[in-house]
Amino acid sequence: MARAPSSDQNNAGLVARSPQGDNAAPLSITEISSILKRTVEDRFGHVRLRGELSGVKRAASGHLYCALKDEKAVIDGVMWRGNAGRLAFNPEDGLEVIATGKLTTYAGRSKYQIVIDSLEIAGEGALLALLEKTRLRLEGEGLFAAERKKQLPYLTKTIGVVTSPTGSVIRDILHRLADRFPSQVLVWPVLVQGDGAAGQVSAAIRGFDALPSGGAIPRPDLVIVARGGGSIEDLWSFNEESVVRAIAECTIPVISAVGHETDTTLADHAADRRAPTPTAAAEMAVPVRADLAAFLGDLGTRQSRAIYRPIELGRERLEARIKRMPAREQLLQPQAQRLDELSERLRRGLTDRAAEGRTRLAGTASRLSPRLLSRSVQDARARLNNARLMPQLVTRPMAEHRTKLDALARLASQFHPEKPLERGYAIVRDSAGVAVTSRKAAAGHAALGLQFADGTLDVAAGGGSGSGIAQPPQNEAKGGQAKPALSKPHVKSAPKRSKPAANPAQDDLFG
């Protein structure tokens, strides 16, 4: 052993020197840290500590760092990635836990800490407190909101069940479905408690939701998450946040049937419908086929009655109205009379229309005189002479008017009163030159004139049944000047009219 320093050695010198007879060399910081580490780990190689979690955080490497504290002291803790991944719950600040591990030192900060091998919730009260805290947090995110709930389908063709394949739960569900309404059932086998159960349940729910419609594996119309009864520790997998989020995000309606009627988990809050038991979940999933068949039969009867009742009522009303209707002849008599009246009005209307058209035609023909045509041509020529137009704008209307004028000229030559004279007819005129149109009017004149195509001839009118033949007037050779036989000398040779040319020549507009 090293001896105590003597009194003369109390005063330290400038350079450190080992006392005489002292064989204890000074230790380095690393050496003393290693000694302390071995001493603490040997003395406290296995401890169980109870305390409240504080400062919980997960590093990117997966390690869990925290602190355990009570009313008077605090100790740091670390849980390596392998053990942290097997935790059955999500550590949070304020949660009272029991940590099992060993004490060690951390030379980098001259601290001691506990390396945690396992972490458990300290009692059922702490577990319920954690459950309530998680429920409030998820409820605040809206995962339990009523508006997120989906309606269950009335008739499900395929039902997906997430449960253990070996328990009595699946047998109860299949038995109840067979009794009520046989349906296709897809079972996704999972662990329902213990390590890894929450991951398998959430993966099964997301797997059903990811199935495509019309694929090789039918997509379920409804998903049932089921488990039998148990303690809160047994049902804790269905309180995990991963399971709750998988149920809330599933697009397929989900029924939660976890535990018995008194058991409540967070999965029940997130599901679209909670069933007190797995058997009740099967009853919610499908209706009773017999009741449905009876209901359909009743609807068919009511439908037939609703169809035939109006027909019967209509037949009765029709028969009553037929009896009150008049005979067919009475109904048609006013229409037949009106038809006769309209037929007579149509005949009179056609006759009046034809007479009116004939009158308009006569009036139009009377206006087609050479004088009017000549005047129109002169007026048009005057307007044309006064117009200052482009040749193209003038020649086109001229050609149109020339065509119309030729047609009018041909029409005027046909309707000219002297036109028949060329065919051997003559016009009888009195001494005043007025045309005589009847024998009675001609008998009242002593002398008449006959107009031929090549001139006129004066004749004496005869009485009685015969007619006198006029002689050419003779001039007396004696007694001076000859006296005409008629009271009014009328020896005039009319010039012979020539036919109008088919296309009379036009004067030059610019000559």
What is the pLDDT at residue 127?
Answer: 72
- Residue 158 and residue 115 in one domain: no
Report if residue 8 sits inside a domain.
no
Instruction: Express each pLDDT in 298-317 by its tens digit.
Output: 999 999 989 989 899 999 99
CA dihedral 403, 404, 405, 407 (to 10 degrees): 90
Over range 50-54, report the average pLDDT.
Answer: 86
**Domain boundary at 287, 316, 350, which?**
287
Task: Check whether 89 has a pLDDT greater than 80.
Answer: no
Q: Which residue has the tokens 């610019």?
A: 510
- Residue 115 and residue 150 in one domain: no
Over range 215-223, report the average pLDDT.
Answer: 92
Question: Residues of 92-111 as b/e, b for ≥16 C-beta within 10 angstroms?
Answer: eeebbbbbebebbbeeeeee
- Residue 78 and residue 163 in one domain: no
Q: Strands 158-163, 222-227: parallel, antiparallel or unpaired by DSSP?
A: parallel
- Strand-pair partners of 445: none
Over range 163-182, report the average pLDDT.
Answer: 90
Residue-range definition of the domain harbouring residue 211? 143-287
Task: Check whether 360 has a pLDDT greater than 50.
Answer: yes
Q: What does the mean pLDDT of the chain come to? A: 81
The band of 494, judged by pLDDT with boundaries at 50, 70 and 90, is: very low
Report if residue 495 sits inside a domain.
no
Instruction: Please give the order of strands across the beta sheet that includes 427-429.
Output: 427-429, 447-452, 455-460
Q: Which residue has the tokens 């190689």?
A: 45
Task: Check whether 25 has a pLDDT greater than 80.
Answer: no
User: Looking at per-residue confidence, does 139 or 6 come out higher?
Assistant: 139
Task: Please give the C-alpha separations between residue 452 and each of 358, 413, 426, 441, 461, in angstroms, as whole numbers.
Answer: 32, 17, 5, 20, 17
| E strand or H helix at 333 | helix 328-366
Distance CA 121, CA 144 (A): 25
What is the pLDDT at residue 243?
Answer: 93
Report if residue 472 sits inside a domain.
no
- Residue 238 and residue 172 in one domain: yes
- Residue 110 and residue 156 in one domain: no
- Number of domains observed in the structure of the chain: 3
DSSP-derived letter for residue 286 is S
Distance CA 97, CA 485 (A): 169
CATH (domain of 98): 2.40.50.140
- Note every long-range contact of 456-462, with CB atoms under 8 Å and residues 24 or more positions apart, other chains counting: 456/429, 456/490, 456/492, 456/493, 456/494, 458/485, 458/486, 458/490, 458/491, 460/485, 460/486
Neighbours of 288 (CB within 10 A): 13
User: Tokens standing for 308?
Assistant: 């035939």
Range of lowest pLDDT (358-362, 384-388, 438-442, 490-494):
490-494
Report if residue 292 sits inside a domain.
no
- Residue 244 and residue 155 in one domain: yes
Report if residue 84 sits inside a domain.
yes
- Residue 65 and residue 160 in one domain: no
Task: Check whether 327 has a pLDDT greater than 60.
Answer: yes
Most confident of 25-34, 51-60, 181-190: 181-190
CATH (domain of 255): 3.40.50.2300
Instruction: Express each pLDDT in 113-162 by its tens digit.
Output: 899 998 887 766 677 777 888 888 888 998 899 899 999 998 889 999 99
DSSP three-state, residue 465: coil
Over range 58-67, report the average pLDDT.
Answer: 90
As a whole number of Å, the end-to-end CA separation of the chain is 160
- Residue 240 and residue 280 in one domain: yes
Task: Check whether 361 has a pLDDT greater than 60.
Answer: yes
**Domain boundary at 287, 308, 332, which?**
287
Report if residue 305 sits inside a domain.
no
- Residue 178 and residue 107 in one domain: no
**Domain boundary at 265, 287, 309, which?**
287
Over range 217-235, report the average pLDDT.
Answer: 89
User: Looking at per-residue confidence, does 231 or 68 come out higher?
Assistant: 68
Q: Which residue has the tokens 């004496």?
A: 460
Give counts: helices (H), strands (E), the chain.
13, 13
8 Å CB contact between 58 and 84: yes
The band of 219, judged by pLDDT with boundaries at 50, 70 and 90, is: very high
Instruction: Express each pLDDT in 450-484 by its tens digit.
Output: 888 888 888 887 654 444 444 444 443 333 333 33
Q: Which of 242, 234, 155 is nearest to 205 (CA)?
A: 242
Report if residue 109 sits inside a domain.
yes
What is the pLDDT at residue 225?
Answer: 95
Q: Which of 167, 159, 82 is nearest to 116 (CA)?
A: 82
Task: Check whether 506 has a pLDDT greater than 80.
Answer: no
pTM to 2 decimal places: 0.45
- Residue 156 and residue 269 in one domain: yes
- Residue 278 and residue 164 in one domain: yes
* Cα angle, residue 328 at apex, residues 326 and 332 outer, rounded to 5°: 105
Range of lowest pLDDT (115-124, 205-214, 252-261):
115-124
Task: Check whether 491 has a pLDDT greater than 50.
Answer: no
Residue 175: alpha-carbon gap to chain centroid = 47
Instruction: Express each pLDDT in 370-413 by its tens digit.
Output: 777 788 888 888 887 876 656 777 788 888 888 998 888 888 87
Task: Check whether 500 has a pLDDT greater than 80.
Answer: no
Report if residue 12 sits inside a domain.
no
- Residue 34 and residue 99 in one domain: yes
- Strand-pair partners of 115: 78, 102
Task: Check whether 193 has a pLDDT greater than 60.
Answer: yes
Distance CA 263, CA 277 (A): 10
DSSP three-state, residue 283: helix
What is the pLDDT at residue 476?
Answer: 38
What is the pLDDT at residue 480?
Answer: 38
Task: Check whether 358 has a pLDDT greater than 80.
Answer: yes
Q: Which residues contact 148 (CB under 8 A, 6 or more apart)?
A: 142, 248
Residue 76 CB burial class (10 angstroms; 0-12, 13-18, ≥19) = middle
Range of lowest pLDDT (19-33, 194-208, 349-363):
19-33
